[in-house]
């Protein structure tokens, strides 16, 4: 039976070739006068998108300051740098150029600038709730995290190794500028890691034991099939604009809560297990998800059999086996084959890490601490369950 829900997705999406040239006018429409541009490395400069965006701001008379150097698994220290710059420059609007790391960093800075009397990390520790946030927007160059239209952000505290998420509608971006052309220069590994992340945002909401809607399922299944099809195209033809457009739009739809309407809010344990891997080993997020998901799936499928059977047939398009269990396991194996077909790992060894028993215990303890208690929708996981999943993933 479908659960009641509230669906809120206020972000304006501006999609297509050349749309980055409209950035300034959209910021002006939201009252931005002094903008902090947050981005990653030199790719934003080499591609020319940084200069195009700055030109659009200058054309509207909008002042701007830059904060570059954001890295994957974005760091708390960079957030603090942005807060210091923002206070000194009287910033009133945050603009991220890049993917999830840049956008999440911008969101965290926006929280910190709006409530300077508090340490922003308290939000990610979940010891308080944000009351204010400066406006945020993005110019997307990496299709993966969906942060451009979501309420979520994830920050890593490099001093403690903790990678933590904070979700709040206050940080929903005002708009997202999306030109798929700017994803063409990404290495294939990064493109495919992004595709996995997009799929996992959908699958986390799909594998639940609480509430389902036929329409929501159809949207989720269609999104997953579309991403898989186009990920394979990009693996052999990275310059295919149409495939990149499909992937970029899927990234936003996968994480703006559309594919969770009518369920219990989702499982998200694969993400939480991977966050600990990211905090300890600094692995690429999407690849880490691909490495942990098969172990999680085989551990929980019997507790969520109808969903795994439907997934196997509707998404992985396997022929039903003699039993539901056989069908479910065929679906999991088919997903592993897909991951391999796009160069993604299916276990921790293939990911390039081999955690010791002591490290696995630390990972599990960090995960249960972040969750607060036994949690999960497909199957509620305890500390011992988490340890088993990490061990089985080696």
- What gap in Å lies between CA 191 and CA 320, rounded to an integer? 32
Measured in degrees and rounded to the nearest 5, phi and psi for residue 78 equal -65, -35
Instruction: Tell me how far the alpha carbon of residue 141 is from its chain's centroid.
Output: 14
Q: CA-CA distance, 70 to 73, in Å (whole number)? A: 9
Helix, strand, coil percentages for the chain (3-state, nearest 5): 55, 10, 35
Contact call for residues 275 and 72 (beta carbons, < 8 A): no
As a whole number of angstroms, the distance between CA 30 and CA 36 comes to 15
CA atoms within 13 A on the CB side of 369: 13
Query: What does the H/E/C string look like for 305-326?
Result: HHHHHHHHHHCCCCCCCCCHHH
CA 132 to the chain's CA centroid: 23
Distance CA 313, CA 310 (A): 5
| CB within 8 Å of 369: residues ≥ 6 apart | none
d(CA 81, CA 137): 19
Pairing label, strands 34-39, 12-15 = unpaired
Contact present, 82 and 66 (Cβ < 8 Å): no
Angstrom distance (rounded) from CA 218 to CA 314: 9
Q: What is the pLDDT of residue 93?
A: 98
Coil, helix or strand at residue 286: helix
User: From residue 3, how far is each of 209, 220, 269, 375 by CA, in Å?
Assistant: 11, 17, 21, 19
Residue whose C-alpha is closest to residue 329's, from 308, 344, 359: 308
| Element holding 76 (H helix, E strand) | helix 76-89
Length of the chain: 394
* Cα separation, 33 vs 28, whole angstroms: 7
Nearest residue to 9 (alpha-carbon basis) of 183, 254, 263: 254
DSSP letter for 52, please.
H
From first to last of its 394 residues, the chain has per-residue pLDDT tens of 789 999 999 999 999 999 999 999 999 999 999 999 999 987 888 888 999 999 999 999 999 999 999 999 999 999 999 999 999 999 999 999 999 999 999 999 999 999 999 999 999 999 999 999 999 999 999 999 999 999 999 999 999 999 999 999 999 999 999 999 999 989 999 999 999 999 999 999 999 998 899 999 999 999 999 999 999 999 999 999 999 999 999 999 999 999 999 999 999 999 999 999 999 999 999 999 999 999 999 999 999 999 999 999 999 999 999 999 999 999 999 999 999 999 999 999 999 999 999 999 999 999 999 999 999 999 999 999 999 999 999 9
Backbone conformation region of residue 319, classed left if phi is above 0, alpha if psi is from -120 to 50, else beta? beta
Q: State residue 352's pLDDT score.
A: 97
Where b means 16+ CB within 10 Å and e means fewer, 204-230 reads bbbbbbebbbeebbebbbbbbebbbeb
> According to the model, what pLDDT value does residue 47 have?
85
Predicted confidence at residue 43, as pLDDT, reads: 80
C-alpha closest to that of 124 among 162, 157, 166, 163: 166
Do the Cβ atoms of 377 and 267 come closer than 8 Å?
A: yes
């Amino acid at each position: 039976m479908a659960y009641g829900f509230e669906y809120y997705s206020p972000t304006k999406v501006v999609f297509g070739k050349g749309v980055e040239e409209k950035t300034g006018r959209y910021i002006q429409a939201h009252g931005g006068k002094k903008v902090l541009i947050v981005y990653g490395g030199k790719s934003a400069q080499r591609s020319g998108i940084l200069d195009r965006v700055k030109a659009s701001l200058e054309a509207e008379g909008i002042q701007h300051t830059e904060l570059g150097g954001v890295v994957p698994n974005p760091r708390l220290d960079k957030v603090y740098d942005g807060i210091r710059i923002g206070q000194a420059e009287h910033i009133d609007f945050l603009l991220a150029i890049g993917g999830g790391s840049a956008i999440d960093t911008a969101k965290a800075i926006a929280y910190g600038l709006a409530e300077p009397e508090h340490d922003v990390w308290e939000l990610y520790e979940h010891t308080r709730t944000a009351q204010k946030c400066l406006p945020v927007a993005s110019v997307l160059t990496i299709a993966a995290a969906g942060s451009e239209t979501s309420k979520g952000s994830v920050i890593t505290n490099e001093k403690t190794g903790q990678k933590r998420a904070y979700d709040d509608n206050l940080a929903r971006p005002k708009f997202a500028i999306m030109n798929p052309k700017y994803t063409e220069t990404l290495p294939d590994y990064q493109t495919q890691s992004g595709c996995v992340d997009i799929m996992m945002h959908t699958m986390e909401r799909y594998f639940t034991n609480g509430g389902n809607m036929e329409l929501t399922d159809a949207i989720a299944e269609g999104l997953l099939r579309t991403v898989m099809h186009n990920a394979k195209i990009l693996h052999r033809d990275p310059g295919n604009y149409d495939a990149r457009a499909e992937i970029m739009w899927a990234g936003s739809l996968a994480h703006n809560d559309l594919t969770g309407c009518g369920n219990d809010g989702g499982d998200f344990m694969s993400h939480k297990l991977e966050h600990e891997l990211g905090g300890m080993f600094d692995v690429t997020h999407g690849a880490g998800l691909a490495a942990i998901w098969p172990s999680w799936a085989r551990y929980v499928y019997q507790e969520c059999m109808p969903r795994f059977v439907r997934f196997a047939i509707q998404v992985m398009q396997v022929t039903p086996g003699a039993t539901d269990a056989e069908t479910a396991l065929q679906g999991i194996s088919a997903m592993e084959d897909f991951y391999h077909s796009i160069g993604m790992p299916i276990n921790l060894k293939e990911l390039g890490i081999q955690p010791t028993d002591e490290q696995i215990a630390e990972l599990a303890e960090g995960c249960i601490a972040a969750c607060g208690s036994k949690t999960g929708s497909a199957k509620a996981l305890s500390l011992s369950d988490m340890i088993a999943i990490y061990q089985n993933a080696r």
